[in-house]
Amino acid sequence: TKGTSSFGKRHNKSHTLCVRCGKSSFMIQKGRCAACGYPRARKRSPGSNKAIRRKTTGTGRMKHLRDVQQRFKNGFRENTAVCYRAWPPITCAPTVHGGFCCSARSVLTIMD
């Protein structure tokens, strides 16, 4: 009586869509979302979120990643000299990537 034959009688939904989080976790009878805790003002979050926040990237030294972030901002450029925007670029030596970079020799010839 409490097994397979009872499961066939279940045709109503106990949970419906939550207006805040959009999951089908809002319990109609209780009037409370199991996922976000709506209509409570503060959003419900699982306890594991706090542990992840403590241990995630950025909580330690990030010895290597700090360097990677900086190189990402500059487009991972490598093997290029510092170019101080000398114009016209005819005086500059072309780089590997197609741009122009001033070498010390060309800067000296401009100044002389």
Q: Along the 112 residues of the chain, how does pLDDT read in single tens digits?
A: 899 999 999 999 999 999 999 999 999 999 999 999 999 999 999 989 999 999 999 999 999 999 999 999 988 988 887 766 656 555 555 555 555 555 544 444 445 4
H helix intervals, the chain:
4-7, 47-55, 65-73, 104-111
Q: Which two tokens stand for residue 11?
A: 């045709």
- Looking at residue 95, what is its pLDDT? 56
Instruction: Give residue 93's pLDDT.
Output: 55
Residue 80 has a pLDDT of 81
Which residues on neighbouring strands pair with residue 33, listed in sequence order?
26
Q: Give me the domains of the chain, ranges plus CATH numbers.
A: 12-50 (2.20.25.30)
User: How many Cα atoms occupy the beta-carbon half-sphere of 48 within 13 Å?
Assistant: 0
Other CB atoms within a 10 A radius of the CB of residue 15 amount to: 16
**Cα(54)–Cα(50) distance, integer angstroms:** 6
- pTM of the complete model: 0.49
